[in-house]
Amino acid sequence: MPIEKFAPISRAACIGGGVIGGGWVARFLLAGIDVRLFDPHPDAERIVAEVLANAERAYGLLTSAPLPRRGRLSFCASVAEAVEGAQWVQESVPERLDLKRRVLAEIDAAAPAEALIGSSTSGLKPTDLQEGLTHPGRLFVAHPYNPVYLLPLVEIVGGAQTVPATVERAKAVLDAIGMKGVVIAREIEAFVGDRLLEALWREALWLIKDDICDVETLDDVIRYSFGLRWAQMGLFQTYRIAGGEAGMRHFLAQFGPCLQWPWTKLTDVVDLDDTLVEKIGAQSDAQAAGLSIRELERIRDENLVGIVQALKAGQSGEGWGAGKLLKEFEQRLWAQAGHTAPPVDMKAPLELVETRVSPAWIDYNGHMTEHRYLQVFGDATDALLRRIGVDLAYVEGGHSYYTVETHLRHLDEAKLGEGLVCTTQILATDEKRLHVFHRLHAGPERREIATGEHMLLHVDTSAGRATPAAAQVLSALDAIAAAHAGLERPAAAGRAIGHKARLATPA
């Protein structure tokens, strides 16, 4: 990867640790970046710990790629202490210009000269934030969306004094940790996303105030229609399709007159008085139907994870939008893991996959669905293959291992959210064949819940026939096979169906 496109950092400072600041902390830590945090609020440690717990849960569901070792988090007693040695400083203090200016001046005075300084402001113009700084060229707006640890977008907005290279570097740092840095060409208050949200929000308040609908109906209108569209294509791409073969210009020509219609009430600003606040509050309580904020957060995060994973399978497997972003991030992680894989004890079965039972894996009986066991075993086989040099480049070179036969035994059940570890033993190899035995362990007590025995053949993928593997692959394989030769052969290996087995997972 060219350094210009991805610029990983190893140390960040976060000033302010509320919902947004805490989200930044989680993003950085899970990307392997050490974070030094300053937040004088008495509840700061608790809030950050809660956000971080949510983020770790969500990442466990989001990806099975090898995330780097989590960064270290330090709570600091001052701005100056927090920004020491930081490559990126993120300011997320309350939305008041005077306060932000004071905090940014402190950051500017104490941070290393080359540190980037991003502000989480959702509306203030960077030019206004730069006033009075000694080194204003490195300050920019980096406006994220809640939950920061899952939503990829960061609007990057430079002010009058921001150096162009700052914007480029900021984008490269964000892109390196799997976020989507989007550069806004010209600064205006509230930038792009909040402008759009604000417009829609005002109209929504009128609809509620005038009793056209209640908040649940309004939310349903969004999430059963254009909300689904916008998770994958935005406004203009969607309308391009709506215009059909006649194209975008034709669509706009049709749409034009509507702008003169008296549809929206936007020329007036609704008065958000006590009556309206109480009305919305009561309707929102009814909509939540007893679910707490914590429960709603969990539901939201699981949904977002599922949506991003669905988009990862989009555009015929290449990924689309936020899913493509995840896929590319995972590919970089896999590539890095290939270069820095920690040494393992080769004399024991290899621990190649560690994962967690995702909600999407649970069937109508409340148990982990049958084929998800095979998914985990498949992931373990993939990890073994990468370890012996059968990586994407090898596959693109026209060779791969294909599974020809599988034998699964279900011994016990796995529960939602439970941690899983898969161990892999090589039973036999020759120049074309690879015979492996996986065991799946659940929970802290590592009870064995399933085994998978697999025969793989090395193939020339274009010719579609078996062929000997490359010398370096065979040599890597032989090294593991030799180390495993001393292991006891699993009693179940080579068994056919009909042997007695303990019972387990639902059909």
Sequence ranges of the binding site? 16-21
Stretch that binds a second copy, among 26-34, 76-84, 236-244, 469-477 (CB under 8 A): 236-244
Task: Determine the 3-state secondary structure of 447 from DSSP.
Answer: strand
Tell me if 106 sits within 8 A of 137, measured CB to CB: no
Does 97 interact with a second copy (rule: CB under 8 A)?
A: no
| Bridge partners for 183 per DSSP | 156
Stretch that binds a second copy, among 80-88, 188-196, 346-354, 478-486 (CB under 8 A): 188-196
Among 189, 354, 431, 478, binds a second copy (CB under 8 A): 189
- Cβ proximity to a second copy, 59 vs 191, nearer residue: 191
Does 229 interact with a second copy (rule: CB under 8 A)?
A: yes
Does 89 interact with a second copy (rule: CB under 8 A)?
A: no
What is residue 313's DSSP assignment?
T
Stretch that binds a second copy, among 29-37, 71-79, 296-304, 344-352 (CB under 8 A): 296-304
Phi, psi angle pair for 199, to nearest 5°: -60, -45
> What would you report as the CA-atom Rg of the chain, rounded to the nearest whole angstrom?
27
Stretch that binds a second copy, among 69-77, 131-139, 169-177, 223-231 (CB under 8 A): 223-231
Among 160, 341, 348, 501, binds a second copy (CB under 8 A): 501
Does 392 interact with a second copy (rule: CB under 8 A)?
A: yes
Q: Which residues contact 221 (CB under 8 A, 6 or more apart)?
A: 213
CA–chain centroid gap for 214, Å, is 33
Tell me if 93 sits within 8 A of 16, measured CB to CB: yes
Interface with a second copy in residues 436-475 (CB under 8 A): 453-457, 459, 461, 464-466
- Cβ proximity to a second copy, 114 vs 460, nearer residue: 460
DSSP assignment of 3-25? TTT----SEEEEE--SHHHHHHH
Among 109, 160, 252, 485, binds a second copy (CB under 8 A): 252
Stretch that binds a second copy, among 62-70, 107-115, 205-213, 477-485 (CB under 8 A): 205-213
Amino acid at 451: T
- Cβ proximity to a second copy, 113 vs 364, nearer residue: 364
Numbered residues of the known binding site for NAD(+): 16-21
Tokens for 478, please give them. 């032989």
Max CA pair span of the chain = 81
Helices (H), 32-116: 44-62, 79-83, 97-110
Among 241, 393, 479, 485, binds a second copy (CB under 8 A): 241
Among 160, 266, 341, 482, binds a second copy (CB under 8 A): 266
171: burial class by Cβ within 10 Å (0-12, 13-18, 19+)? buried
Interface with a second copy in residues 311-350 (CB under 8 A): 311, 313-317, 320-322, 325
Among 46, 72, 96, 240, binds a second copy (CB under 8 A): 240
Q: Which residues contact 56 (CB under 8 A, 6 or more apart)?
A: 26, 30
